Amino acid sequence: MFFKKNSIETKTADEINKMRVAGRVVGEVLDKLSSIIKPGISTKDIDKFSEKYIRSKNMLPAFLGVEGVKYPFPATACVSVNDEVVHGVPSSSRILRSGDIVSVDVGAFYDGYYGDAAKTYPVGKVSDSALNLLRITELSLYESIKFALSGNRLGDISNAVQRTAENAGYSVVRDFVGHGIGRELHEDPPIPNFGQAGIGLKLTAGMVLAIEPMVNIGGYKVEMLDNDWTIATKDGSLSAHFEHTVAITENGNEILTKV
């Protein structure tokens, strides 16, 4: 994760309007992928669809070319299968099979602003334990969004994710976190998926946050694979990832990446 700013930039109503446009297209990509993802397609097929859709709306793929450890990210979508947590590199030789779960993270850039969201999908018929992981991870996202309110603390968001995941017997990834978003894809503040309620940065209207729980069935430890991008669980257990871009408003919040 590369934070390019050292302070938190709150957004004006005009800026949030632009982010809503970018966010909606990201939400539409993830929504449409629900009917595209099935056994037999490749992770590259998911990437191709995402890129085509974003470009058809005169937007740019946000992740293409993001700097990495060894080389820039080479695709529009991060597509991570089963024990892969985030930053999966799409490949035409990685074919999805019934029983897999696949996490897709997509971002769009529009008129100077970013939108970013992610969702994990079941492929064909998956196990009850995998389905429960998806359910709890999505729940942890929505529980945490309830705390994304002016006057609350950043720790309230982090704690809601951790509490929801750990109460179900799962663990949250420590090494990767959510982030502020706006004119940069990754802005301050970092948003851990673990922490103590009632502490940390005070949230105010105009902050826009990409909240993104990464939840593992097994332990929280992760490692980078040999391609120098894909992050997978160390113990090989399944991992799920859900994300929304959320604007904190005067009287609540607005999910900018929801369709």
For binding to Mg ion (CB under 5 A), which residues are involved? 116, 210, 212
Smallest gap, in angstroms, from Cβ of residue 244 to Mg ion?
Answer: 10
**Complete edge-to-edge strand list for the sheet that includes strand 214-216:** 171-172, 214-216, 239-241
Tokens of 183: 């004119």
Nearer to Mg ion, 181 or 217 (CB): 181
Nearer to Mg ion, 78 or 134 (CB): 78
Using CA atoms, how far apart are residues 115 and 183, in angstroms rounded to an integer? 10
User: Least separation, in Å, of the C-beta of 105 and Mg ion?
Assistant: 7
Q: Closest separation between CB of residue 185 and Mg ion, Å?
A: 7
What's the DSSP call for residue 198?
A: T
Could you give the CA distance from residue 26 to residue 20 in angstroms, rounded to a whole number? 10
Task: Tell me whether residue 97 or residue 174 sits nearer to Mg ion (CB atom).
Answer: 174
Rounded to a whole number of angstroms, the minimum distance from the CB of residue 256 to Mg ion is 13
Question: For Mg ion, which is the closer residue by CB, 188 or 235?
Answer: 188
Exposed/middle/buried for residue 236 (C-beta within 10 Å: 0-12, 13-18, 19+) = exposed
